[in-house]
Amino acid sequence: MPSYTPPLRDMQFVMHELLHVVDDLKAMPAHADMDAETMNAVLEEGGKFASEILFPLNITGDAEGCHLDQATHQVTTPKGFKEAYAQYVAGGWPALSSDPAYGGQGLPLIVNNFFYEMLNSANQAWTMYPGLTHGAYASLATHGTDAQKATYLGKMVSGEWTGTMCLTEPHCGTDLGLMRTRAEAQPDGTYRITGNKIFISAGEHDMSENIVHLVLARLSDAPPGIKGVSLFIVPKFLVNEDGSLGARNGIYCGGLEHKMGIKGSATCQMVLDGAVGTLVGAPNKGMNGMFVMMNAARLGVGNQSLALTEVAYQNALAYAKDRIQMRSLSGTKAKDKAADPIIVHPDVRKMLLTAKAYAEGGRAMQGFCTMLLQQEHSHPDEPVRKEAGEMLALLTPIVKAFITDNGWIATSTCLQVFGGHGYIKEWGMEQYVRDARINMIYEGTNTIQSLDLLGRKILGNNGATLRKFGKLVMELAQEEAANEKMAEFIKPVADLGQQMTQFTMDIAMKGMQNPDEVGAAAVDYLRVAGHWTLGYFWARTAQVALRQIAAGNSDPFYLGKLQTARFYFAKLFPETTSLMQTARQGSAVLMDTDAALV
């Protein structure tokens, strides 16, 4: 059986030693009194909930899955899921970072982010149910009317009601301009919505008393394409004027998707049959509200893969220390045993360190992005809010695609550590691989993220935001220019930063002649940008570790950080060289292939 220990020490390192989040929070009135002790205490309790309540339900929930009663359209979640959700609500966990005006606790977003990392490590399928509610809450808080906020947000913050996002239809995925779901205006100001949605996570379940669906649909007079999409609140149960639940609405689950992973999460085919909805925001401007959910979800999906990387690493490390097989090539290490533990073998260590580097580096990146989101929403100065939002927009597709790609790599290598036992269900590793694979697909495939990064976030503003991130890299390089011990960590990132300008220009110039050049280079480009970003955080991590060691701190935690950083720059970061080469090869080898693709 697998195990899970919340990585509280590393979370504390990211918050307090690497990012100094308490200092940043002091500039935000809502969080000016926040202290490290409070944040640590909340996460310690959150870790207990994740490891003690959720983790034991992970393998059993995967085996049992969800069940749909075709007659009633009711979905039953795996045994223990509903009870765990009741404990989650009773503990006040849904309200952690929500606005106190709606019953929230108002804690910093980074606390909620790390709490959700632990939930996802413990049980990603279960965490899908409350996780989507945060995005729906954010969308309504930003674009909803006062009446809509008063009706829905308090119940969503308390966890009594959950939320979903209903976008995809059977004939269209990311290309939402093709959707057919229609909304007909009614005399009372509501709308009757009819259509079909697929792949709706947590679209129907037995864990909360109501489900608040945010649905994209077309008005009868809507213009074609994405400019004709509107957003609606469509609750499972209609809500009476006094806030009580009324009649069952005309939205129901017509079928469950049978998936290779996250089987405990109900992925629903949703049927809207004249369902009553209310408009969110302006007509034909639905993507404004939906993008609030989608961007939050993209950061959340990156967090899911980070979480799976962490738990897979923990179990692979424990197995490698215990499993004996063969002798070390450099001589016997465990003389009292018939063979050495497999952790003595170089390639096993490479697999373990790959997962560790991607988990701990990804955690730093996630923490940084969460603080950007906090600044964008909570900082009193508009220029700071604008700068934070711009940088976050650049990094969001990197977090989603790079971290999920790494999660797939890491869970696969951790499974490999187990050898033949890796694909035996009882060890838990094959589930992590299956669960990780979907994260590269939903909330916009990683190719979509790559096109968004290169086409919109970089070429769309002539690399202005990219240069701002480059300034952070150069400031670190200049700060440590005279420190020889930092050279092995700083030089690779600084050198790549200098190459990024020409690399970007090369792709841009080709793209001006042939747009397919951007599409051909985008995936490789994003991975280069991902390593540049991750390399920056690993260099900063090494900086903190070296300073602690120089000050006489003998905690092996810091030496471990240095060793992992050294491995990352020696074995993983050099991938950027080959990626830049393949990105520059152009589109012809892909597009001039009609004879090959027959």
Active site residues: 443
The single-letter DSSP state of residue 282 is S
| Residues facing residue 255 across a β-bridge | 269
Nearest to 164 by CA among 298, 296, 293: 293
Q: Which two tokens stand for residue 565?
A: 């950083």
| DSSP codes joined into one string, 38-57 | HHHHHHHHHHHIIIIIIGGG
**Residue 88 in contact with residue 81, Cβ under 8 Å?**
no
Pairwise CA distance, residues 305 & 441, whole Å: 12
To 5 degrees, how large is the angle CA 446–CA 451–CA 456?
130
Burial 322-347 (b: 16+ CB within 10 A, else e): ebeeebbeeeeeeeeeeebbbbbbee
- CA 247 to chain centroid: 35
Q: Which two tokens stand for residue 303?
A: 């967090």
Q: Which two tokens stand for residue 454?
A: 């290169």
Pairwise CA distance, residues 312 & 436, whole Å: 10
The single-letter DSSP state of residue 380 is S
- CA 273 to chain centroid: 33
Pairwise CA distance, residues 31 & 183, whole Å: 41
Torsion sign across C-alpha atoms 590, 591, 595, 597 = positive
**Residue 316 in contact with residue 418, Cβ under 8 Å?**
yes
Q: Cα Rg for the chain, rounded, in angstroms? A: 24
Quick one: how many helices (H) and strands (E) in the chain?
A: 18, 11
- CA 170 to chain centroid: 25
